[in-house]
Chains A and B, each alone.
Chain A
Amino acid sequence: MKPNRRRFLRGIGGAVLALPGLECLSAAGAAVNRPPLRMAHFYVPIGVVRRGFFPGEQDDVIPKGNLGNVMQSLGKQDPNHKVRPLDKLTPTMEPLEDLRSHVSLITGMDRTFQQGTDVHAQCASCYLSSARPYTVQGSAWPLDRTLDHIVADHIGTKTPFRTLEFSCNSHRDNRESIYFDNISWYGTGHLAPSIRDPRKMYRRLFSTSEIKQSREITSLVLEDARSLQRELGSADRQKFSEYFDSIRSIETQMTRLETMKAELAQVNLEEPVASHLPRGEYIRLMGDLMVTALQTGLTSVATFMVGPERWDTPYLFESLFDKPRSHHQMSHNQTKMIDDLLKVDRFHMEQFAHLARRMRDITEADGSSLLDNTLFTYGSGLGDGSTHQYNDLPIIVAGGGSRTQTGLHIHMPEGTPLANLWLTQARLIGLPIDSFADSNGEISDWVA
């Protein structure tokens, strides 16, 4: 580990960092002293080992090979609604032990698979969209504007960045298409690309040097855009709005970053160095950047992919195995590699726990913690990497403070759409909506 990196982590770690005056930038409508409610999603690819994750499934049959067409649990699922205290954590959830009073496990929620596209491609890309299948015109994907962007339309209007997209995909080959690598979408076919490189993310968050010149350029090219728009056919005109949206976002971003310049200067953060980091450190470094961005008010909405879907290329999970291993291939060989796969699941949970802990330890202006003021969700779009099931997904919600019920295991009745949780989160954040995608209700047990 390099000294400057250690300093970096210490610099932003813990509760030492107080950022005066930032709450004035918080979401509209919130009480003056109450910090705004924020949202972050931690996405785990390729599902989990059910035996290790779900209470009561520890003795279920281990899926053999790739059970690609099964698409449901091999063990029997309880169809009934139950709410219990989260007293004993399953092995995969153990890293959350000291956070037990801050999290709730919600099981029994499903997404619906739309025939015609790959199971892995759809489970990630449509996770936060959850559109009702076959409702999105002209696309094979049940993919619509994703939850993070819909929420950001509401609470991202005052932060420099409406949303931030993080990815810990460090693969260097170009193996998979965009649908395997992104959970955040502005709309069908319109990707909100993520940043994989911690240095690049750092510069995006904290560099304000090129602002003046950019401003002159944007006003010049906007004129080009306006005249060009008149020359386009209607379909293209629609797509071309992405250019205006982008320029507008950048301009707002510049204005807001400038206002925050003084405050941001107090953030004791060093630019990450350009070197290979062991996987855990890399994930935590990216995570720390996300936590800092949420803490400082650079954004109120973030998504975080801990790895891409499928992508057979092996990774070196430094602390776990000596050789690079492919997460996807392990998921299809559970009868042989279940112990290794459980390690991967636990490793991802440790990273989630680390970030939740970081948030818990950051005190905000009113004495509550950043975690209290963030809906921080762990989840995967597959219930198991072998069965490729879209039902009974592994979902853990952390944070929310007094707004949520924590320390629970909420098991939803059979057929509860995942979108119910997304609707509940959106409403907690203050969106005046009655439904989201294919939702048919809320997860009321979770709401305080």
Chain B
Amino acid sequence: MMNARCYQTAIFRSLKSVLLVSWFGIAAIAVGDELDQPGAAGVLRVVEARCVQCHGETDEPEGNVDLTALKLSQLEDDAALVRKLMHVIETREMPPEGEAPLEADLRERTLAELKSILHVAVQKNSNSVQTPMRRMNRFQYNNAVVDLFDLNCIVFTLPERAMRGYKDYFDPASGRMPDIVTVGNRPLGKSQMIEPRLAGVAAFPQDLRAEHGFDNQADHLSLSPLLMDEFLKLGQSITDSPDFTPKQVGIWNTFFAAPENSAMLTSVERTEEIRSRLSPFLTKAFRRPVSADQLNRYTQFAAGQIDAGVEFPDAMKAVAAATLASPRFLYLYDTSHPERGAAPVEADDFELASRLSFFFWGSIPDETLLEIAASGRLSEQDTLAAQIDRMLSDKRMKRFCDSFPSQWLQLDRLVSSVPDRNRFPDFYFSKYRLSMHMMLEPLLIFETVFVENRPITQLIDSDFTYRTAKLDQAYGPLNCASGKNSGDQVTTLTFQRLPVTDRRNGGVITNAAVMTMTSGPERTKPITRGAWIAGVVFNDPPKPPPANVPPLPEKPQAGEEHLSLRERLAAHRERTDCRGCHEQIDPLGFALENYDAVGLWRDQYENGTPVDPSGELFREDRFASVTEFKDAILRDRRRFCRAFAGHLFAFALARELAPADEVALDAITDAAADDDFRMRTLMRQIVLSQPFRTK
């Protein structure tokens, strides 16, 4: 969605130069008519009166969008166009500044009407949007191997799982996060990459994220000879690892161990023993029933090894390694998609089971799920609901919390944040950076919202947070406890749950992690912050910096020392074609200006000018402070929740959202709204949605 959306946003944002006089004229004449027109005709009338002046009636329609003589049938054939229109009206991008805005009542009615046109458009062109076949990414591979062999250690260390947990604090079934959690920061903390794992196993490279978001997106996960070579060696190195022993491997006795009466068995009996062990093993690895032919081949493979003199456990290791190289293990796919253009059909129960487990657990389904799928009952409403609840309460949900939130919040950026040492000396201690502590605060807030099934609005504004003593002190005036600094923790970090009474704290958007990673070494970068808010919070990322305007120098130029950052920036973007985009992003960033480049609260800049965080959200909702900014976001909480649901939906479907998914997204958002936008309700609704259940 992001690419398309960026492009579209850019198009509409460039519609700026308009003749004021004629606008007023048209607006004045047209309003009466517009209000009289019922239904779809009204929409067309609005477009004609308010849009075509720039989008059509010139040689070069603004932004390449030509809306001349728009017909209802056109709209009903073009869901993407309908979405675009809705989006620019929703965000008040159009009509642009300087033009008469749509009157409140007219705006509401137009949006409502466009929505119903969108439904028609989606119904009419009910093409199934398919998630392409894709290999597992590195994170999923690791989890799947752990689950398949029931390992009690990991396969290889994944720095992308930022938070390392100690003492098993994560238990969604309890519905309560403990007040104290002990965690480590894998990419930044000391020794956090050293953990129980299989020695001698080399990871394949981390999968870079997709242009449009997460690292599980199907169009980005392809295979190459190089990677296949690594998969082949990886499978063997796993079962050959010196740590691949009865102690670490949960299925050792039932799968790898030689049968007790091994010596007594005839060749036929031994083959039968192998077959009976391979049947459940392959079913689990391949996530669907294995055919007799497949089972024979794998059985012959193992039996052949034993005939060639290989010990029983080693033969089973060899066949297990081979299983890991099979495309039926490595790939996520649906069988026999309907052809392009055909109506979607329901995913079968095994496919549904895999979709569930890869969304929630980043891994293969467990036996329970597979058994229910085999009975053909998984898609039954009650059974599915019960399974969703069971899975959401399972500890394996930690994998979801290890992959989704850090990618959603782009916390990886904190790894490379290096504030200036002279300016921010407190950021550094011994050989470490405070970001080691910072990064985990938003992740713990996210986990709490999930575990305690809180409304996702608390991601913006929570009445609690988690901090180490060191981190809390670093917040200076915004510290939540008067606790003493318990030393410079660098290996395991003790986070304590603290009540938030001052709403400048709490939530995931104003904490030190986000503030630091959206700043430069010397100063904050309000536009970077604004772009972050637009993309992360509103799922509407701006185009990458297009400005042919020099970046603001780190230090004020001569004669500008007395200006505030906002004034300096304003002076640096006088061009009208920049203003449009920045009108949208800048207020979002400036709202956070009270937090400096490492997230510390300030009321004025170093030069003594006061910080001015005030602005307007979507050109309608004025705010004067960061708490009012949070209020403004939450006043239209449906907007935020739908945006968040969009991120989650793309993650769950492993693909970009298409216009057709927008209808489902509306339904998901509505259903979640009925339960106060609680996190698990939202996740449940995503699973129950049509796109998730069809192929």
Residues of A within 8 A of B (CB): 64-70, 115-118, 121, 140, 162, 165, 171-179, 181, 186, 189-193, 195-196, 200, 204, 210, 213-214, 216-218, 220-221, 223-225, 227-228, 231-236, 239-240, 242-243, 245-247, 249-250, 253, 312-314, 324, 332-333, 335
Contacts and interface: CB of A to CB of B under 8 A. Distances in A.
Given A221-B325, A224-B294, A236 B132 contact: yes
Contacts of A246: 223-225, 227-229
Contacts of A140: 3
A232 B339 CA distance: 10
Contacts of B331: 228, 240, 243
A329 B192 CA distance: 31
Interface in B320-339: 321-322, 325-328, 331, 333-339
Contacts of B336: 231-233
Contacts of B224: 186, 190-193, 242, 246
Contacts of B220: 177-178, 189
A177 B210 contact: yes
A214 B413 CA distance: 39
B235 A116 contact: no
B327 A243 contact: yes
Contacts of B326: 220-221, 224-225
B334 to A, nearest CB: 8
B225 A65 contact: no
A244 to B, nearest CB: 9
Given A69-B548, A224-B294, A224-B328, A217 B232 contact: yes
Interface string B302-345: 00000000000000001001100111100101111111100000
Nearest to B305: A216
Contacts of B291: 227
Interface in B422-469: none
8 contacts: A174-B206, A204-B229, A210-B232, A228-B331, A240-B331, A246-B223, A250-B232, A335-B550
B549 interface: yes
Contact of B236 (A65, A210, A220): A210
Contacts of B294: 223-224, 227
Contacts of A200: 202
A313 B416 contact: yes
Given A216-B301, A224-B327, A240-B327, A193 B226 contact: yes
Contact of B548 (A66, A173, A193): A66
A240 B206 CA distance: 21
A243 B228 contact: yes
A382 to B, nearest CB: 15
A66 B550 contact: yes
A246 B223 CA distance: 7
Nearest to B223: A242
Contacts of A249: 225, 228
Interface in B371-408: none
B328 A333 contact: no
Interface stretch (B45-53, B539-547, B598-606): B539-547
B71 interface: no
A313 B412 CA distance: 12
Contacts of B545: 66, 68
B538 to A, nearest CB: 20
Most central of A210, A217, A240, A333 by chain B CB within 10 Å: A217
Contacts of A225: 326-327
B24 interface: no
A65 B7 contact: no
What size tier do the contact residues of chain B reach?
A: 35 or more
B156 interface: no
Given A66-B549, A236-B132, A246-B228, A173 B413 contact: yes
Given A189-B222, A232-B335, A246-B228, A116 B7 contact: yes
A177 B208 CA distance: 5
A235 B548 contact: no
Interface in B192-222: 202, 205-206, 208-211, 215, 219-220, 222
Nearest to A141: B211
Contact of B551 (A65, A162, A242, A243): A65
Given A217-B232, A224-B327, A232-B337, 20 more contacts: A67-B548, A116-B7, A165-B226, A172-B415, A173-B413, A174-B209, A174-B215, A177-B210, A192-B224, A210-B236, A214-B236, A224-B328, A228-B328, A228-B333, A232-B335, A233-B130, A236-B333, A240-B331, A243-B223, A314-B416
A223 B297 contact: yes
A11 B624 CA distance: 69
Contact of A214 (B209, B225, B232, B327): B232
A233 B337 contact: yes
Interface of B: 3, 7, 130, 132-133, 159-160, 187, 202, 205-206, 208-211, 215, 219-220, 222-229, 232-233, 235-236, 291, 293-294, 297-298, 301, 318, 321-322, 325-328, 331, 333-340, 412-413, 415-416, 418, 544-551
Nearest to A242: B223
B130 A235 contact: yes
B575 to A, nearest CB: 10
B416 A173 contact: yes
Contacts of A314: 416, 418
A177 B338 CA distance: 31
Contacts of B297: 220, 223
B199 to A, nearest CB: 15
Contacts of A221: 322, 325-327
Given A190-B222, A249-B225, A333-B551, A173 B208 contact: no
A66 B291 CA distance: 60
A179 B412 contact: no
B546 A68 contact: yes
B415 A173 contact: yes
Contacts of B327: 221, 224-225, 228, 240, 243
A232 B294 CA distance: 17
Contacts of B229: 204, 246, 250, 253
Given A178-B220, A179-B211, A250-B232, A220 B132 contact: no
A242 B95 CA distance: 48
A118 B544 contact: yes
A213 B310 CA distance: 13
Given A189-B222, A193-B224, A242-B222, A175 B413 contact: yes
A69 B550 CA distance: 12
Given A64-B550, A68-B545, A235-B130, A220 B301 contact: yes
Most central of A115, A214, A220 by chain B CB within 10 Å: A220
Nearest to A233: B337
A253 B322 CA distance: 19
A98 B40 CA distance: 74
Contact of A68 (B187, B235, B547): B547
B216 to A, nearest CB: 13
Nearest to B3: A140
A204 B547 CA distance: 44
Given A174-B206, A174-B209, A189 B219 contact: yes
B222 A239 contact: yes
Contacts of A179: 211
A239 B132 contact: yes
B416 A65 contact: no
A133 to B, nearest CB: 14
Nearest to A64: B550
Contacts of B205: 193, 196
A250 B228 contact: yes
A232 B236 CA distance: 28
A2 B131 CA distance: 50
A200 B132 CA distance: 30
Most central of B215, B293, B335 by chain A CB within 10 Å: B335
B278 to A, nearest CB: 12
Nearest to B333: A236
A221 B298 CA distance: 9
A204 to B, nearest CB: 7
Contacts of A69: 546-548
